[in-house]
Amino acid sequence: MFVVYFRDTKINSIRIILIMDGKKELFQKLQQDILLMQGFKPVSSVKAESIGLGEIENSFPGGVFPKKAIHEFITILPEHAAASDGFIAGLVAVLMKNGAACVWVSTSRRLFPASLSLFNVEPERIIFMDVQSEKDVLWITEEALKCEGLAAVVAELNTVSLIESRRLQLAVESSGVTGFILRKDGNKTASTVATARWKISPLPSENEDGMPGLGFPRWQVELLKVRNGNPGSFVLEWAGEKFKEIKKAEKQTVWPDLGARQIV
Amino acid sequence: MQRRFVSIWFRQLLADWQLIRRPELSGVPFVFAAPDHGRMMITGVSSLAFSFGVEVGMRAADAKAICSGLEVLDDKADRPRKLLRGLGEWCVRYSPIVAIDEFGMDGLLLDVSGCTHLWGGERGYLEEIVSRLKSKGYTVRLAIADTPGAAWAVSHYGKITPLIRAGGQVDALLNLSPEALRLEEPTLAKLKKLGFSQIKSFIGMPRSVLRRRFGEGFLLRLAQAIGTENEVLVPLQVAVLFSERLACLEPIKTKVGIEIAINKMLESLCKRMQAEGKGLRTGVLTGYRIDGKVVQVVIGTSGATHCASHLFKLFQLKVDQIRPALGIELFVLDAPKVDDVEMPQEEMWSSRPGLNDQSVIRLLDRVAGKVGQQVIHRYLPVARYWPERTVLNASSVTEKPLSAWRIDKPRPTELLNIPAPIEVMAIIPDHPPKFFIYRGVRHLVAKADGPERIEREWWLDQGEHRDYYQVEDEQGGRYWLFRSGHYDGEQKYKWFIHGFFP
C-alpha cells in the first residue's frame, strides 16, 4: 500500500491518497489529474498524428509532441543555428501539411529559403519578416502566434525574458500555433516558460559502406528541459524524407545543470 | 441633368494679389516682369499702369519709358498656378468640381450642374461669387453656359450678358472674335489673314475644309465650345466617395476618445461599403484640431475589406501618432482607394488554411501598418545557378511560383550574405582543402564533396567563377566553401566560406 501526498493548489491544502498495490489505473488517473492541474489538456482518445520524431516523442507528456507550445532552441554557434534550422524545417514540414503558412521573424536572418525544400517544406509558403529591432520581433511573434491560420511561427531572438515568454505562451494556448524560438544567448539560467528546450548540434555524418563524401545530416538532439516529461539526448538523422533515429541513447537520463532543469 | 459651367476670369490676377498683400501700392503703377532671353518681359500689369498704356508682353525698359515712376516687381514662374489653386480650393464652396483654366492660366472653370439653385438661381449665384471675390479685392468676369468653352468665351469676350441660357451657346458665340475659342497663336494669325473676324463667318463651313486649313485642334476647340465634343475638367480636389465626418461637441483629447470616434465612423463607413460590395484599401483619418492644425494618419490593407474590427485594429496601431494637443473637434475618415470585395465563402465550405487565409492577411496588414510593408518577404524560385540569385522576393501574397524548387543540388540552410574569406591548406590543386581557418578557429576537414562549379552570369557582372565544396570537419560541422577562380601560378584565387549545412 502506498501513501501519496500532494498539494492541491485549488483548495490549497495537502491531499492524502491511499493507493492499493497494483492499482496502475489509479496511478495513471492521478498522473492525468496532475497534468490537468498544470494546464495540460488531456490527450484525446485517438492518438494524435505523430510528428515523426520516433522515440523522442516519448519524452513528452502523454507521448505526444506538444503542438500548442513554445519550443526553445539554444543556438550559439552558426553550426548550431544551421542544424536547428534543419531540425525545425523537418518539424514545420509536418505542421504545414494541411497547406497552412508559416512565419519566420528575425533581425539578422541568414536562412536560405531555397534550402528548405530539401526538408519537404514549400519555401513560398513561409513569410519572412526581417525587422530592425528585437522589440518588433517580439511584437510580430506575439501577433503571429495569435493568428489561427498559421501552422508555426519561428522567431530568432537574442534573449527572451520570463514575462515575454509567458506572453508568447498565452498567445499559443488560445490559438494552437506552434512556436519555435531560436535563442542566440547561451544563458541557460534565463528561465522561460517554454515547454521544451532543445539544443541541436551537428554530428559527423556516416555513409553506408564507407563511401566517400558526406552522408545525411546527423545531429545530437539534446532535450534539455521538458515540462512534465523526461529530458534526454538522442542521435537523429534527416534521411532525405523523414527523421531517422540512429541509435537509442544510453538508458540513463541526462541531467543537465540545475538551472536548465528549473521549471517555471 | 442639364450640365452648366461657370468660367471665372481674374482680369489682373497678379496685380490684385499684390494689392491685397501690399495695400500701400494702390497709388503706384506697377508691373510684374520675368527674365526672358536676357531681357525683362512684363507678365502682369496693374490697372493704373494699364491706363498709361503698359501691356503684357512689353519690355520692362520700354514700359519705364512710357510711364514714369513705374514699379517693376519680380515674377515667379509658377505663381499664377499657386494662386489659382488657392482660389480654386476656396471656390469648392460653390461647386465640388473646380478646375484651373490651363489655357490662359488666369481663371477657374467650375462644373456647377445642380448647384445654382442653392443661391436662388443662376443670377444670384454669379452675383454671390462676384461680390465675394470683389470684397476680397479681385476683379473678375464671370459667365455661365452649357459648355466650359462657351463660358470661357463669354467671360473673356462677351459684351451682352454673362448668363447664356441652356442651348444658347451657339447664338452667344456667333458675334465673338475667334480668340474666344482658345486657339493657338498661329491659327489666330491665319484666321485674321483670311478675314475671319467673327466666329459666325466660319462656323457654318464644312468640317473637312476647316480641318484641312486649321488642323484637328481647331475643330476640337470649336466643338468643345458648341458642345458637340465633351471637355473633361480636372478637379483640384477629387471627391472621395466613401467618407465619414464626426464633429464633436467637446474637443477630444484622450486616446480612448479618439478610439471611440474611429470606431463610430468605421461602423457606418463599413456598413455603406458592405451595401455596395466595396472594401477599403487605403484609409485616411484626418483630425482637425482647435488650434487650426491638422493631424493625419494613413492605413493600408493588402486586400479590400469592410470588416470594421480589422480596420479598427489597423487604426489602433497608429492612434499613438495622433497628437491631439488642445483637442480635436472634427474627425474625417476618407477611403480614397476602394476595391470590390471578393465575397468569402467560408460559411459554406470550411476555408483551407494557407496564404489566402483571412487571419493571415489580417496579420500581414497589421505588421505592414506597424513596422512597414518592406519587412515582409516571401521568396519564389528562379531558374538560375548563381546561389544568391536563385530566390526572388514575391510581389504579392498570392503570387505562385513559376518553376519548381530545385532539390538536386545541396544548398546550405544558413547562407552568408557576403562570403567570408578563409585561410585554407589544400595539398592537391582542385581538391577540397585539408583544413581551413574561419574566425580564428581551425577546422580539420574529415569529409568533402565537390567541386560544383558555378559560373558567373557574365551578362550581369564580371568576375571569377566559383568552385563549391561541401566539407565536414571532425566535430561534424558542415560548411559550404568555395574557391574563386582557377588554380594557376599567379595565386589569384581566393577561398571563401559561404554557408552552413544543417
pLDDT 10s digits, A32-84: 787 777 666 655 544 566 788 888 888 888 788 888 889 999 988 889 999 99
Q: Do A128 and B502 touch (CB under 8 A)?
A: no
| B490-to-A51, A248, B109, B487, B493 alpha-carbon distances in Å | 54, 53, 77, 8, 8
Q: Is the minimum CB–CB distance between A96 and chain B shorter than 8 Å?
A: no
Distance from CA of B325 to the nearest CA of A (A): 28
Neighbours of B245 (CB within 10 A): 12
> What is the rounded CA–CA span in Å between residue A133 and residue B491?
43
Q: Is the minimum CB–CB distance between A88 and chain B shorter than 8 Å?
A: no
DSSP characters over B415-435: EEEEEEE-EEE-SSTTS--SE
Residue that is written with C-alpha cell 513705374 in the block: B70
What is the mean pLDDT of each successive set of 10 residues along chain B, which is 502 residues long?
A: 90 89 87 88 87 87 87 87 90 89 89 89 92 92 93 91 89 90 90 90 89 90 90 83 88 92 92 87 91 90 85 90 89 89 54 72 88 89 88 82 85 91 83 89 89 88 88 91 80 84 90
pLDDT at A137 (0 to 100) = 94
> What is the rounded CA–CA span in Å between residue A102 and residue A145?
10
Distance from CA of B220 to the nearest CA of A (A): 54
Q: Is B190 exposed, middle or buried (0-12, 13-18, 19+ CB in 10 A)?
A: middle
Q: Do A110 and B366 touch (CB under 8 A)?
A: no
Domain locations along chain A: 2-37, 54-261
Q: In what order do the strands lie in the sheet with B278-289?
A: B242-252, B328-340, B278-289, B294-305
- 3-state SS of B438-469 is ECCEEEEEEEEEEEEEECCCCCCCCCCCEEEE
Q: Is the minimum CB–CB distance between A249 and chain B shorter than 8 Å?
A: no
Q: Is the minimum CB–CB distance between A90 and chain B shorter than 8 Å?
A: no
Nearest CA in chain A to B451: A213
Q: Where are the beta strands (DSSP E) in chain A?
A: 2-8, 13-19, 70-74, 101-106, 126-130, 150-157, 178-183, 196-203, 218-226, 232-238, 243-245
* Partners of residue B395 in chain A, C-beta under 8 Å: none
Q: Do A78 and B500 touch (CB under 8 A)?
A: yes
CB-based contact B242:B337 (threshold 8 Å): no
pLDDT at B236 (0 to 100) = 86
Q: Do A103 and B472 touch (CB under 8 A)?
A: no
Of the candidates A22, A3, A1, the residue with the CA atom closest to the CA atom of residue A14: A3
CB-based contact A233:A221 (threshold 8 Å): yes
CB-based contact B467:B479 (threshold 8 Å): no
> What is the rounded CA–CA span in Å between residue A150 and residue A86?
20
Q: Do B363 and A86 touch (CB under 8 A)?
A: no
Q: Is the minimum CB–CB distance between A73 and chain B shorter than 8 Å?
A: no
Neighbours of A134 (CB within 10 A): 16
Length of chain B: 502
Residue A260: pLDDT band with limits 50, 70, 90 = very low
Helix or strand (DSSP H, E) at A84? helix A78-95
> What is the rounded CA–CA span in Å between residue B257 and residue B39?
61
* Partners of residue B501 in chain A, C-beta under 8 Å: 82, 86, 214, 217
Q: Where are the beta strands (DSSP E) in A158-214?
A: 178-183, 196-203
Q: Do A202 and B358 touch (CB under 8 A)?
A: no
Q: Do B357 and A101 touch (CB under 8 A)?
A: yes
Bridge partners for B436 per DSSP: B424, B443
Neighbours of B470 (CB within 10 A): 23
Residue A215: pLDDT band with limits 50, 70, 90 = confident
DSSP characters over A122-134: -GGGEEEEE-SSH
Look up residue A122 and give its three cell numbers.
514549400
CATH of region A54-261: 3.40.50.300
Residue A188: pLDDT band with limits 50, 70, 90 = low
Q: Do B414 and A111 touch (CB under 8 A)?
A: yes
- With the CA atoms of A145, A149, A155 and A161 taken in that order, what torsion angle do they form, in degrees rounded to the nearest 10? 0
Terminus-to-terminus CA distance in chain A, angstroms?
A: 32
| B421-to-B76, B438, B467, B468, B495 alpha-carbon distances in Å | 59, 8, 14, 14, 6
The residue type of B144 is I
Domain locations along chain B: 242-340, 414-500
Length of chain A: 264
* Partners of residue A204 in chain B, C-beta under 8 Å: 446-447, 472, 474-476
Looking at the domain covering B242-340, what would its CATH class be? alpha beta
pLDDT at B151 (0 to 100) = 93
> What is the rounded CA–CA span in Å between residue B427 and residue B199?
97
Q: Is the minimum CB–CB distance between A206 and chain B shorter than 8 Å?
A: no
Q: Do B391 and A124 touch (CB under 8 A)?
A: no
* Partners of residue B499 in chain A, C-beta under 8 Å: 82, 112
> What is the rounded CA–CA span in Å between residue B411 and residue A157?
24
The pairing of beta strand B466-473 with beta strand B441-454: antiparallel
The residue type of B68 is S
Q: What is the ipTM of this complex?
A: 0.77
Nearest CA in chain B to A120: B407
Bridge partners for A179 per DSSP: A70, A153
DSSP characters over A4-28: EEEEETTTTEEEEEEE-TT-HHHHH
pLDDT at B256 (0 to 100) = 93
pLDDT at A132 over 60: yes
* Partners of residue A113 in chain B, C-beta under 8 Å: 379, 391
Bridge partners for A3 per DSSP: A18
> What is the rounded CA–CA span in Å between residue B483 and residue B372?
39
Buried b / exposed e along A6-32 (16+ C-beta atoms within 10 A): eeeeeeeeeeeeeeeeeeeeeeeeeee
| A160-to-A134, A166, B197, B394 alpha-carbon distances in Å | 9, 10, 86, 31
Residue A250: pLDDT band with limits 50, 70, 90 = very low
Q: Where are the beta strands (DSSP E) in A36-85?
A: 70-74
Distance from CA of A138 to the nearest CA of B (A): 12
* Partners of residue A112 in chain B, C-beta under 8 Å: 387, 391, 411-415, 499
Distance from CA of A102 to the nearest CA of B (A): 9
Q: How many CB pairs under 8 A join A and B?
A: 173
Q: What's chain A's Rg over C-alpha atoms?
A: 20
Please enumerate in sequence order all residues whose Cβ is within 8 A of that of B465, keeping only pairs 6 or more positions apart, or say none.
B453, B454, B455, B456, B484, B485
The residue type of B169 is Q
